[in-house]
């Protein structure tokens, strides 16, 4: 098996909570040496964001599960930027790194000489990725950015939730997570640019920009009509029936994307007349009459047991699926077959749970050989390595 694709790439992560650490974790999965710089007084806040907390085999508290979900594969060093020796250490690390990820407030690192313009003078090849709520420019550049607020400001919550209920956020911090993913794409493109030209660059990632970008078809629905899309609950703005329906023992999802699938669904529900009804004959017709269609379909599905109806849908090539709790998801044979749950060495004779990278690569698969680090666990190791690099 070949080396991990980013082996030999050193990433200096001066980021905390989620977007920056999510990017760092993904780069670590791909083989980069990610050195996480934390304040010695408690480190990344998410170490305390519990319960639940994880412990090793000896019972030592290893911090909140939240921290472990976004810091796998890294090494941790501590540095107080107000201390001149610690600051000098971080600058030396930056001089020997390929990538730096930071999520301080705009210009927050300038007073320490750790801003891009300062560091490019000692490391012209450095890829410097800044992650903020609103970016380095614009009237909100100096504002703090929180995922929940970004979900609201971006328009995401205006299309999420029931029409007659509150606007709803997503169940996870989507703005943070998408920003981390976009950041990794930008960083890898910048690494290719360095290989071609020897020139580093500044990457300006904003949670607001990322959340706006992933509104996808909802953005285009507005741009095409001039009308802002509204909340539809579990209905789809452009496809029908694409929704949740009731059964005797719960609910399931129907995701019918074309006329053939719709006809097959109607056949198995004894609704053979609907495909020829002008109100439901084509997808635009069904979208225009989605509430009436939902009533027809639900009146039939509510008399089926969920798993029986799912089996009938599968047998008739009608896209449908269950609504799993997270525990049910991890018990799903497909998830188990794909190896999405990890058991990582806790460093004390036991294991810690984790979630695998979704990237399946035939020649350079992601690595999952290191748990999230204890605070400052690699202080001596990294300092000795840095000294050897500087002397070579």
Task: Walk across the sheet containing 201-206 and list its strands.
Answer: 75-78, 33-38, 10-14, 99-102, 127-132, 201-206
With 0-12 / 13-18 / 19 or more C-beta atoms within 10 angstroms meaning exposed / middle / buried, residue 175 is buried
Alpha helices in 114-258 (DSSP H): 116-120, 147-153, 174-197, 207-213, 216-225
Q: How far apart are CA 177 and CA 157, in angstroms?
A: 16
Tokens 């690699």 -> residue: 378
Torsion angle defined by CA atoms of residues 128, 73, 364 and 388, in that order, rounded to the nearest 10 degrees: 70
Tokens 């008399």 -> residue: 303
CA distance to 44, 67, 80, 118, 270, per residue, from 99 (Å): 19, 22, 20, 15, 60
Catalytic residue among 29, 98, 115, 176: 176
- Three-state SS annotation for 1-47: CCCCCCCCCEEEEECCCCHHHHHHHHHHHCCCEEEEEECCCCCCHHH
Residue 176 annotated in active site: yes
Omega before residue 52 within 30° of 0, cis: yes
What phi and psi values does residue 307 have, to the nearest 5 degrees?
A: -65, -30
Q: How far apart are CA 171 and CA 373, in angstroms?
A: 26
Residue 309: both structure tokens together = 């109806």
Nearest residue to 241 (alpha-carbon basis) of 276, 265, 273, 220:
265
Please, which residues have CB within 8 angstroms of residue 244's CB and are 6 or more apart in sequence? Answer: 234, 251, 252, 253, 254, 323
Q: How far apart are CA 309 and CA 284, in angstroms?
A: 26
The answer to whether 194 and 125 have CB atoms below 8 angstroms apart is yes
CA 43 vs. chain centroid, Å, equals 22
The catalytic site residues sit at 176
């Amino acid at each position: 098996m070949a080396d991990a694709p980013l082996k030999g790439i050193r990433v200096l992560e001066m980021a905390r909570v989620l977007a920056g650490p999510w990017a760092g974790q993904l780069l670590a999965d791909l083989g980069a040496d990610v050195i996480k710089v934390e304040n010695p007084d408690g480190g990344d806040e998410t170490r305390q964001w519990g319960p639940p907390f994880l412990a090793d085999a000896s019972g030592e508290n290893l911090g909140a599960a939240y921290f472990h979900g976004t810091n796998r594969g890294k090494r941790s060093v501590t540095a107080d930027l107000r201390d001149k020796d610690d600051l000098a250490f971080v600058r030396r690390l930056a001089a020997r790194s390929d990538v730096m990820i930071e999520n301080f407030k705009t210009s927050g690192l300038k007073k320490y000489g750790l801003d891009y313009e300062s560091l490019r003078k000692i490391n012209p090849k450095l890829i410097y990725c800044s992650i903020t709520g609103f970016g380095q420019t614009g009237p909100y550049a100096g504002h703090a950015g929180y995922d929940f607020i970004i979900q609201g400001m971006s328009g995401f919550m205006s299309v999420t939730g029931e029409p007659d209920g509150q606007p709803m956020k997503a169940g996870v911090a989507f703005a943070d997570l998408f920003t981390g993913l976009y950041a990794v794409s930008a960083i890898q493109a910048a690494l290719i640019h360095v290989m071609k030209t020897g020139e580093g660059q500044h990457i300006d990632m904003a949670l607001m920009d990322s959340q706006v970008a992933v509104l996808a078809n909802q953005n285009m629905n507005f741009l095409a009509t001039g009308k802002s899309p509204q909340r539809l609950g579990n209905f789809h703005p452009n496809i029908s029936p694409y929704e949740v329906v009731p059964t005797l023992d719960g609910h399931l999802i129907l995701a019918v994307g074309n006329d053939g699938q719709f006809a097959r669904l109607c056949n198995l529900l004894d609704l053979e007349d609907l495909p020829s009804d002008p109100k439901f004959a084509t997808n635009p017709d069904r979208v225009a009459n989605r509430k009436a269609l939902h009533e027809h379909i639900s009146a039939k599905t509510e008399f089926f047991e969920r798993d029986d109806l799912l089996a009938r849908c599968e047998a008739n090539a009608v896209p449908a699926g269950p609504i799993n709790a997270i525990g049910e998801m991890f018990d799903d044979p497909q998830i188990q077959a794909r190896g999405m749950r990890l058991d990582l060495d806790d460093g004390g004779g036991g294991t810690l749970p984790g979630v695998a990278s979704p990237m399946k690569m035939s020649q350079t698969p992601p690595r999952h050989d290191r748990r999230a680090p204890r605070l400052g666990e690699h202080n001596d190791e990294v300092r000795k390595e840095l000294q050897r690099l500087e002397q070579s």
